[in-house]
Structure 1
Amino acid sequence: MTHNKSLLTGVTALCMVSLGLAGCSSSNGGGGSPSASGSPGSTQTTDTSNAQRGGTLNMLGTGDIDFMDPNISYYSIGYLGLRMWTRQLLTYPAIPGKTTKPAPDLATEVPTMQNGGISKDGLTYTLHLRKGPMWNTTPARPVTAQDVARGVKRTCNPVQPFGGIPDFATLIKGYQSFCDGMKKDKTAPAMARYIEGHEIPGVVAKDDSTIVFHLTKPATYFTGILTMPAFSPAPKEFLKYLPASAELAQHTLSDGPYQVESYKPTKEIVFTRNPAWKASSDPIRKAYVDKIVVNETGQQNSIQQQLETNTASADMGFDTGPAPSQLPGLIAKKDPNLNLGQTSSSNPYVLFNTVSPNNNGALSKVKVRQALSYALNRANILQVLGGTTVNPPLTHVLPPGVVGAKNFDLYPHDVAKAKKLLKEAGYPNGLTLKFLYRNASEGSSKAFQTIQQDLSNVGIKVKGVTSPNADFYTKYLEVPSVAKRGVWDVSLAGWGADWYGNSALSFFNPLFSGKPSFPPIGSNFGLYNDPKTNALIKQAATAKTTSEAAALWEKADRQVMEDAPFYPLTSPLNPNYHASQVHNAIYVPAFQQFDPTNVWLEQGKQGG
């Protein structure tokens, strides 16, 4: 999502550096519940036997969500915000050991062939909506299958499309044709007429409580795709506003346990109880606290200091965790409020702008990108991000645990090799590169400084281009014209799986599949386009067996690394921290934070 957009996905030592698109991780439980003791892979248990209801959960952050729009957000922190006020067909529960396994949310069950939800040929998925979920309209009205279909239609609007569309653009029958037909409708009224007047053959509201998806080919990973907020229902009122617009952000409707009481971009989000929500209709969110206040104006180090004081005004982080310099001490003393959560991510990674006109288009040349890869010292960069305990090295596209991942390293640190390749490429005297980074993040700033030093050793001068957290993706990386103008040459980005296990597609399609993955549809921010890679991705995506797919994804991984459009660093553990009054803090990798809708606050420290 970039956002993990795979991912994604979105706040960790990893996401502190590069708040990932759609997918990262973190977790734990404090004040009586087992939590990470500062060691990787610690276990979590639920802590609800003495749960206290009520109070205000105060979350502290350094930046904003991407969009207050469930069908468009593609950023781990956006997903975190959506957890409070939106519902999905399927989602990830805050249950230890099950946080990466799809569970029914609006749907009554996860579709399988055994329960009849998946047809024998694997081309039809039928989901039944549970009774009870309501929109907080006046009067409240039920969430319907028609709302789900409308939500899917909104994803490919021509103004601000969902960034993970490459995951399913050719998979859902008729989706691409529907989207092509909406390209000229760039006003809210025109878009509304098109959306309400046209159907996607592969997304059918059979009746008010039954939604059916028809696929062009079998895809065993489709239940994973259905966990993405892009497949959230959209009420008809959303069509009054442009998708992802500031106007829509001020006129949201909720079907989750909380509603958006107020939203001041880059400053504060206040969530209060949704009177239309029924606990009996929601198996995912317990909603113990009455109110959630997100302060987006903090600084990473001071937020950590506030959380460690255990005062009622500072409960959890929002888009940040302990800074890399703070982690060794927390780990050494086995702080019970620290959690190091497993991720399925590449976060951060060094990104090369392959279309930059700077230096006579140097970064369009494979040898130059390979030279940069040899010049970078992964060990040095990981050290300033908190060390290899929380940042295990990653030297290729796919992180461990993803089908097709196989360990190899084409670019061991080699200054002499880097200089040789630069000379062969026509740059014996080096280059001057612009490095885009988020200066509000300690990890991002230190990584920039380290990379600057590494590249200086081969005659490359690096100049910093700073960005606020909230602008980093939306005003820079997600805007192709910015890359084409050469505003930046090198940057840090992050990516997490859009789903888990058989999820290689969610790395390759959004990041490396040529033009179909260019922003804003995809998250190929460096605009990399290679015919060999594109062909391998298509082959792997249509493989008939998992083993065949694994072999093809491995080949695609090697092809990408040979072309060197990016330099991977780590598939990290995600550090998150909470104050001692926070109980049942369960980390959910999809949004890189403890689940705010399932924590409860100790009596006497319930905020205000």
Structure 2
Amino acid sequence: MKTRRVTAAVASVLALSLGAAACGGGGGNNSSGGGNAKKDAALTSIVNASSKKGGTVNLEESDVPDSLDPGNTYYGFVQNFSRLYARTLTTFKPAAGKAGLTVVPDLADSLGKASADAKTWTYHLRSGLKYQDGTPITSKDVKYAIERSNFAPEALSNGPTYFKQYLVGGDKYQGPYKDKSATGLKSIETPDDQTIVFKLNQPFADFDYLATFSQTAPVPQAKDDGAKYVQHIVSSGPYQFQSYEEGASAVLVRNKNWDPKTDPIRKAYPDKISVKFKVNAVTVDNDLLADKITADLAGTGVQPQTQPKVLTGKNAKSTDNSYAGALQYLALNVNVKPFDNVNCRKAVQYAVNKQSVLDAVGGSPKGDVASTLLPPNVNGYTKFDTYPTAGNKGDVAKAKAALKACGQPNGFSTTMTARSDRPAEVAAATAVQNSLKAVGIKVDIKQFPSGKYFSNFAGVPSYVHDHKLGILSMAWGSDWPTGYGFLEQIVDGGAIKPSGGTNLMELNDPAINKALATAIANTDAAARTKAWGDIDKMVMDNASVVPLFYRKNLLYRPASATNVTVTQAYLGMYDYLLLSSSK
């Protein structure tokens, strides 16, 4: 997920979609449990606004995050949540509606200063920044954080590697655990403790959006011990870890050395934030309905079983049906037989009954049937359908013709993955299984925990090949809402990694790779926008991605939740930097 870039065009599209979904309400003394609050109020306003300090925000999550280490995560909810204890060079403004898409300075005292060719970016840190132990935060700590997060896959493999791709010499640098030199990566310069300069190998006008990633949160090198750093993260934000139990829980309390004078965007109203992991997804929903917790940390909405309870009656006005700017899809791995044959991939394209998949996860409140990679609210979206079927219900005749063309007229057997702690994804996989069975494709569904899905299983090519995982369940939201921010990490060959990868198709098409690189270097915004739609069509022609539905979240806000608003910057979940509680 991820953080996202916002252009004027994208902001306009999002504003229209938010406005169409909202029914008013919010602000003032609105309460999600009554008063003036209405359904979808948190899409455009702050519901149950309060400036009262105190209380505990209680969160639950159905599995475990990939990591709470800001330098070792790629889940959107962790990017959102980590802003409580990890400040970055820039971040998204905590605000309602389209204002929440604005990138603002965080550790930095202003947005980046770019050279004329957009290949050099300079930031200056605010004065008086301190860690939880009172020691100063310096530009060298930001440099080190980027080095460890992007250049040390042997220890930290979960996050994206944009910095590695775009910094001069990034392809040669071995990372701080192997490179013991005092200079580190030379293309990140720190001429003094307040200044950091990035030297890029090509123009990159989106750099302020890249600087919102949690990977720019400072890490003191003396306190870092690689993958174990998650056990004792050093806070730069208003909260620090009181406790952390791997796979079970985390508790954040106030950081006494956080100075609000250096942080104009965080209000830090709660006294404590408590998180429980590995809670059954339906139990999470029930705890929300019983007002035992403030929010579901994953932020993807209630489960299909819970949906009827919140769509009618008094609970309906406490829901927010937000667009996630994300796609649920099937990745067909081109290095697992028979999906090395494009016609076998096309057989799946035609066979899948997408409407049945959407119905299985809860119908229209969960999204709209998809035919493209780019969701409609991402810059570059072009409406087209390369594999149309009547009513989106599949076409058996076309599927069988494709099977014949790929030399498998009687079908074949394959294995499909799904995340075990996500009932909706398992339900979607079952619907896909039933669709494919009708054309002779037999699917065995294997389930894996979401916390290790990319680092140990679906994102590890060697595991995928050894276990012949041909179809992989996947959901993706853009790192920033342009075609590049959405596409690059899932279709570029450079995004294939030994572990923690997100290009689950292992797509490494030279023409697609070149088109992406050419487009992001183009300073003509209109040309870039057109290029994203063209690349989307190239990927669909390759047939390795089966778009299922453009995702929506059906969120529920209990009565005790205050300062509740949806952030489109973080996949349409609630903004955890604002969220507080009356309890």
Mark yes or no: TM-score above 0.5.
Answer: yes
Look up the equivalent residue of 1:123 and give its one-letter code.
K
Q: Does 1:145 align with 2:139?
A: yes
- Deviation of the 1:326 alpha carbon: 2.8
Specify the SS of the correspondent of 2:469.
coil
1:427 alignment partner in structure 2? 408
Give the number of aligned pairs: 551
- Deviation of the 1:254 alpha carbon: 0.7
Look up the equivalent residue of 1:129 and give its one-letter code.
L
Specify the SS of the correspondent of 1:150.
helix
- Deviation of the 1:567 alpha carbon: 0.8
Structure 1 unaligned blocks of 5 or more: 9-27, 112-116, 183-190
Q: Which moved more, 1:382-391 or 1:289-298?
A: 382-391
Q: Does 1:374 align with 2:355?
A: no
Quickly say closer, same or farther: Cα 1:91–1:494, change in 2 above 3 A: same
1:597 alignment partner in structure 2? 577
Look up the equivalent residue of 1:159 and give its one-letter code.
E
1:188 alignment partner in structure 2? none
Specify the SS of the correspondent of 1:349.
strand
1:583 alignment partner in structure 2? 562
Specify the SS of the correspondent of 2:364.
coil
Deviation sequence 1:515-536 (CA, Å, 0-9, x none): 5434547421221222222222
1:32 alignment partner in structure 2? 30
1:133-212 matched pairs, under 5 angstroms? 133-137=129-133, 140-154=134-148, 155-161=150-156, 163=158, 165-178=160-173, 181-182=174-175, 191-192=176-177, 194=179, 196-212=181-197
Q: Does 1:539 align with 2:539?
A: no
Give the counterpart of 1:408 among 357, 363, 384: 384
1:112-151 matched pairs, under 5 angstroms? 117-137=113-133, 140-151=134-145
Q: Does 1:474 align with 2:455?
A: yes
Specify the SS of the correspondent of 2:222.
helix
Quickly say closer, same or farther: Cα 1:550–1:478, change in 2 above 3 A: same
Alpha carbons 1:384, 1:447 under 8 Å: kept: yes
- Deviation of the 1:95 alpha carbon: 0.3
Specify the SS of the correspondent of 1:219.
coil
Alpha carbons 1:478, 1:525 under 8 Å: kept: yes
Alpha carbons 2:281, 2:303 under 8 Å: kept: yes
Quickly say closer, same or farther: Cα 1:40–1:417, change in 2 above 3 A: farther
Alpha carbons 1:37, 1:331 under 8 Å: kept: no
- Name the CA distance, whole Å, in 2 between partners of 1:110 and 1:213: 13
Specify the SS of the correspondent of 1:534.
helix
Alpha carbons 1:29, 1:583 under 8 Å: kept: no
Alpha carbons 2:455, 2:500 under 8 Å: kept: no
Q: Does 1:43 align with 2:44?
A: yes
Alpha carbons 2:71, 2:159 under 8 Å: kept: no
Alpha carbons 1:437, 1:464 under 8 Å: kept: yes
1:67-78 matched pairs, under 5 angstroms? 67-78=67-78
Q: Does 1:236 align with 2:202?
A: no
Look up the equivalent residue of 1:135 and give its one-letter code.
Y
- Name the CA distance, whole Å, in 2 between partners of 1:33 and 1:92: 25
Alpha carbons 1:440, 1:469 under 8 Å: kept: yes
Q: Percent identity?
A: 27
- Name the CA distance, whole Å, in 2 between partners of 1:33 and 1:173: 51
Alpha carbons 2:26, 2:41 under 8 Å: kept: no
TM-score by length of 1: 0.85
Q: Does 1:399 align with 2:375?
A: yes
Deviation sequence 1:297-351 (CA, Å, 0-9, x none): 32222221221122xx4221112531124335523447232222232222x2111
Alpha carbons 2:454, 2:501 under 8 Å: kept: no
Look up the equivalent residue of 2:89 and give its one-letter code.
L
- Deviation of the 1:40 alpha carbon: 9.6
Quickly say closer, same or farther: Cα 1:166–1:53, change in 2 above 3 A: closer
- Name the CA distance, whole Å, in 1 between partners of 2:421 and 2:137: 40
Specify the SS of the correspondent of 1:91.
strand
1:490-501 matched pairs, under 5 angstroms? 490-500=471-481
Specify the SS of the correspondent of 1:364.
coil
Q: Does 1:574 align with 2:553?
A: yes
Give the counterpart of 1:331 among 311, 316, 320: 311
CA RMSD in angstroms, aligned pairs only: 2.6
- Name the CA distance, whole Å, in 2 between partners of 1:163 and 1:299: 24
1:114 alignment partner in structure 2? none
- Name the CA distance, whole Å, in 2 between partners of 1:422 and 1:214: 50
1:465 alignment partner in structure 2? 446
Give the counterpart of 2:249 among 268, 271, 274: 268
- Deviation of the 1:543 alpha carbon: 2.1
- Deviation of the 1:562 alpha carbon: 0.8
- Name the CA distance, whole Å, in 1 between partners of 2:43 and 2:574: 14
- Name the CA distance, whole Å, in 2 between partners of 1:46 and 1:488: 44
Specify the SS of the correspondent of 1:382.
helix
Specify the SS of the correspondent of 2:185.
coil
- Name the CA distance, whole Å, in 1 between partners of 2:41 and 2:374: 20
Give the counterpart of 1:548 among 505, 521, 527: 527
Q: Which moved more, 1:537-546 or 1:169-178?
A: 169-178
Q: Which moved more, 1:66-75 or 1:77-86?
A: 77-86
Larger RCO, structures 1/2 (Cα 8 Å, 6+ apart): 1
